[in-house]
Amino acid sequence: MTSETRSGTYPPIIELTLARLREFVREPEALFWTFLFPIIMSVAMAFAFPSSSAQTVRVGITPGAGSDAIRQALSAAKDVVLKELPADDQLRALRNGEVHLIVEPGNPPTYRFDPMRAESRLARLVVDDVLKGVAGRQEPWRAKEDLIEIPGSRYVDWLIPGIISLSIMNNGLWSIGFMTVQARLRKLLKRLAASPMRRRDYLMAPVLARLVFLGPEVAAPLLFGVIVFGMPVRGGFISIGMVAILGALMCGALGLLMGSRARTFEAASGLMNLMSVPMWVLSGVFFAASNFPDAVQPLIQVLPLTALVDAMRAVILEGASFTAIRNELAIMAGWTILPFAVALKIFKWR
């Protein structure tokens, strides 16, 4: 038994990475979710929050004496949509956001609205201004308006880097976590542990494999934003790429950690939801993390997804330098190295 033939294979880490990539591309569903999810998400959000600067104000009017005059006055105003609403249907319409404010004719008229809603407060200002103007209010002066459009400040511009970060996290967590549990269930991990394969090679391979598809994964929603929404991209190819790579390494390491001991898909998905769902809310993907109380801000700022989202927005929207985002990069590096080391330590091979 001494045939000392050359192996004719690549080093183990490359072969393991290739195996992961093959497995991935031969799974059409995986490809679909990786590339289409962020785009579908961006489209949906863009429809929900239109990018046009003018926000329409939807106003309901109680039918009855004086309602015609009010309708006439308001229909002349810009960006106001009117709807006649009988009294017994008004609460429902307000609750659903079908209208933002209800005007009850009278002298003076009554405004019915929920002051906790920003759109309703805006509607009150607009309606009040129009009606008082019609009623003959004397304007002390009319201010000159200096309108400036700041490209990149729309909601959709702010949102897309968040969605890119979210998809980096989801793909890292779920693809790596699930493949690991699957290999454990199929006793493949045990078989590999019986071979001379170095264990850290096995754990590094899926994280490296993630990097191969990272380019299109980030570029697809970014191009979509540029082409469809005219979103400005101020950061360079290299800086966006570096943030994405570090983000993918971090989320891959977290996926490994979540999958390191789970013996069932249910256990693994429970862990991954436990870790990712709070971050969907807290890390400022859909609305600014600064909305949360100051007391929890230090916690929010060190979350892995917060660091990724903040860094991604900074490089894409502001063209920030690495020095400017060094805190976020440091947090991400920490969330890469520590989970990887712990996963390697506690990983169950059988």
Partner 1 sequence: MELAVRCQNLQKRYGDVVAVDGLSFEVRRGECYGLLGPNGAGKTTTIEILEGLLAPDGGDVEVLGHRWKTDEQQLRQRLGVQLQETQFTDKLTVEETLRLFRSFYDRGKTVDELLGLVELESKRRSWVVKLSGGQKQRLSIACALAGDPDLLFLDEPTTGLDPQSRRQLWNVLARFREAGGTVLLTTHYMDEAETLCDRVAIVDQGHVIAEDTPKNLISALAKPKVVVHEGTLEDVFMSLTGRHLREQ
Residues that bind partner 1 (CB under 8 A): 1-12, 14-16, 18-19, 22-23, 26-27, 183, 186-188, 190-191, 193-197, 350
Question: CB 261 → partner 1: shortest distance, Å?
Answer: 17
Please classify residue 48 by burial: count the beta carbons closer than 10 Å to its beta carbon, then call 0-12 exposed, 13-18 middle and 19+ buried.
exposed
Pair 347, 316: CB distance under 8 Å: no
Tokens for 292, please give them: 């949360």
**DSSP one-letter code for 261:** S
Whole-angstrom distance, CA of residue 76 vs CA of residue 59: 13
Pair 332, 252: CB distance under 8 Å: no
Question: CB 29 → partner 1: shortest distance, Å?
Answer: 12
Provide the residue type at 311 as one letter.
A
17/167 with CB nearer partner 1: 17
Question: CB 184 → partner 1: shortest distance, Å?
Answer: 11
Question: CB 202 → partner 1: shortest distance, Å?
Answer: 10
SS3 label, residue 348: coil
**DSSP one-letter code for 209:** H
Question: CB 25 → partner 1: shortest distance, Å?
Answer: 9
264/297 with CB nearer partner 1: 264
Please classify residue 322 by burial: count the beta carbons closer than 10 Å to its beta carbon, then call 0-12 exposed, 13-18 middle and 19+ buried.
middle
277/346 with CB nearer partner 1: 346
